[in-house]
Amino acid sequence: MTLTEQIKAKALELGFDKVGVSPANVPSPAAFLTTWLANGYHGDMRWLARAPERRMDPRKVLPGARSVISLATNYYTEAHTQTDHPDIGKLSRYAWGDDYHPIILKRLRRLHDDILAREPGIQTRYYVDTGPVMEKAFAQQSGLGWIGKHTNVITEEYGSWMFLSEILVTAVLDYDLPADDQCGHCRLCIDACPTEAIVAPYVLDARRCIPYLTIELRSDIPEDLRPLMGNHVFGCDICQEVCPWNAQPVITKEAAFRARATTEAASLASFAECRPEDFNEIFHHSAVKRAKWAGLLRNVMVAIGNSRNPHLIPVLKRALARTEAMVSTHAKWALARLRSHLLAS
């Protein structure tokens, strides 16, 4: 077996679902990143604009890099409860189980160690969607899948329910052919987005995207977008759920990614009463912790405002007394919204 074949075999053995290899050059979408940043579509995610030329060229991340090993891990898990009820706080599917970062990072380290054992003289870098690497572009370049119009990578076998990771190496490997775009004339994801965040095919304005608003944004959610967020309190999967390539999903092999009753869905009322110590206990080992306690409560206030449920008004009144300005501000908005619905009914 060649070194590339050995690496791929080991990756699959370790639990990765797909692996591909591409040259460590400047990927074709690099120019798009410049325009995307210039338009301000990254919002408050300032780290994306930090040294973009480094993000565009893996050789500036790892001097002498010759190859990028792209890896994909299926995380699709089925729901145990119904999350479409407006009184339930919806979490993105990837957050139903344990945080994927340490799980995949452990596999990456083992694959990295295996590569160095075979080729001790090479240099490497590896990342789980946290490094300055255009991972989606390299996933397409390595044949894992293509970047869909919703800007997620779509694979033929698993759809878009995939976590991406990569290893940069200074060794020359055998390269795979790039994946062809198979979205065709479909625009279901574009039309389904409640906030119209997909401003053009393959172009996402993160400032309007519910995952950005509920996870990355650390300040107040723009008022004009709040009514469009429904009962989403952490992330959103709408653009993926309507994608035809996700019509026949494959259940993940990783038990840690499967839904837990405490994180898959909970009532908005129970979320709203959550204390910091409750938050840390319930979301221990969960990606939801990225939103932080006050951020999650902010999102819950918006969801309650969209619920049209007058029985949640006492919950909002209690939230008004919270010392966290971000929470009380959104609770005030939600209370006014619920009362306006009552007057209109």
Residues 6+ apart with CB under 8 A from 182: 146, 154, 156, 245
Give the span between the Cα atoms of 341 and 285, in whole angstroms: 38
In a domain, 67, yes or no: yes
Domain that holds residue 27: 3-76+97-169
Same domain, 273 and 139: no
pLDDT digits (tens, 9 = 90+) for 271-309: 999 899 999 999 989 999 999 999 999 999 999 999 999
Same domain, 35 and 164: yes
Give the span between the Cα atoms of 174 and 23, in whole angstroms: 9
Q: How large is the average pLDDT for residues 142-156? A: 98
Same domain, 108 and 148: yes
Q: What is the pLDDT of residue 26?
A: 86
Same domain, 193 and 164: no
Structure tokens at 32: 């798009």
Q: How large is the average pLDDT for residues 169-191? A: 98
The enclosing H or E element of 69 equals strand 67-74
In a domain, 174, yes or no: no
For residues 339 and 314, the answer to whether their CB atoms sit within 8 Å is no
Q: What angle do CA 67, 69, 92 make, to 5 degrees?
A: 140
Q: What is the pLDDT of residue 264?
A: 64
For residues 138 and 180, the answer to whether their CB atoms sit within 8 Å is no
Which residue in 51, 176, 167, 174 sits closest to 115, CA to CA?
A: 167
Same domain, 270 and 227: yes
In a domain, 340, yes or no: yes
Same domain, 206 and 152: no
Q: How large is the average pLDDT for residues 100-126? A: 97
In a domain, 222, yes or no: yes
Higher per-residue confidence, 80 vs 54: 54
Give the span between the Cα atoms of 240 and 246, in whole angstroms: 7
Same domain, 29 and 143: yes
Of 76-80, 102-106, 313-317, least confident by mean pLDDT is 76-80
Higher per-residue confidence, 204 vs 131: 204
For residues 158 and 249, the answer to whether their CB atoms sit within 8 Å is yes
* Number of structural domains the chain divides into: 2
Same domain, 69 and 105: yes
- Sign of the C-alpha dihedral computed for residues 240, 211, 92 and 125 taken in this order: positive
Which residue in 295, 294, 235 sits closest to 264, CA to CA?
A: 235
Same domain, 159 and 237: no
At residue 128, does pLDDT exceed 80? yes
In a domain, 183, yes or no: no
Long-range contacts (CB closer than 8 Å, 24 or more residues apart) made by 251-255: 251/76, 251/77, 251/78, 252/73, 252/74, 252/75, 252/76, 252/77, 252/161, 253/15, 253/17, 253/74, 254/15, 254/73, 254/74, 254/75, 254/97, 254/103
Specify the pairing of strand 124-127 against strand 162-169: antiparallel
Q: How confident is the model at residue 266 (pLDDT cuts 50, 70, 90)?
A: confident
Of 45-54, 216-225, 300-309, 311-320, least confident by mean pLDDT is 45-54
In a domain, 179, yes or no: no
Same domain, 217 and 305: yes
Q: How many CB atoms lie within 10 A of CB 321?
A: 9
Q: Which residues are catalytic?
A: 129
For residues 179 and 143, the answer to whether their CB atoms sit within 8 Å is yes
Q: What is the DSSP-derived secondary structure letter of residue 326? A: H
